[in-house]
């Protein structure tokens, strides 16, 4: 799983998803996380809570390798907010999501 997306586009996905996820529900990982999928035509993010589900897609990404992972939406959103307005590389390594932007790296 590997893709490159501009911070602006990733932030749009995460900002909307953050409104859906329930970070206070410690017992249910489905309502605290989002399914991030890298597809041949772009990136999608699926989030759900007890009342609403949201599927977002963007073609504004270069996907090098397809795949999917469940991500902690709030934590990833908060981290992406701190990054410079550049392209972000996202990839899976040892079953962990890794983000790289300019000189900043995190997993």
Ordered per-residue pLDDT tens for the chain, 107 residues: 999 999 999 999 999 999 888 766 666 777 889 999 999 999 999 999 888 899 999 999 999 999 999 999 999 999 999 999 999 999 998 888 999 998 888 87
Residue 10 CB neighbour total at 10 angstroms: 26
User: Beta strand 2-6 with 61-65: parallel, antiparallel or unpaired?
Assistant: antiparallel
Cα four-point dihedral sign 46, 65, 5, 39 = negative
Which 3 state secondary structure label does DSSP give 30?
A: helix
**What phi and psi, each to the nearest 5 degrees, are found at residue 60?**
-85, 45
Report if pTM > 0.85. Answer: yes
**What phi and psi, each to the nearest 5 degrees, are found at residue 84?**
-70, 160
| DSSP state, residue 83 | S
CA 92 to mean position of chain CA atoms: 12
């Amino acid at each position: 799983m590997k893709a490159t997306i501009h911070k602006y586009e990733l932030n749009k996905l995460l900002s909307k998803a953050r409104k859906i996820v329930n970070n206070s529900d410690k017992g249910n990982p489905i309502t605290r996380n989002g399914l991030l999928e890298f597809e041949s035509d772009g990136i999608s993010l699926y989030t759900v809570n007890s009342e609403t589900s949201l599927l977002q897609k963007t073609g504004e990404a270069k996907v090098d390798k397809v795949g999917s992972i469940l991500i902690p939406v709030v934590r990833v959103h908060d981290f992406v907010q701190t990054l410079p307005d550049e392209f972000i590389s996202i990839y899976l390594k040892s079953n962990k999501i890794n983000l790289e932007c300019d000189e900043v790296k995190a997993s």
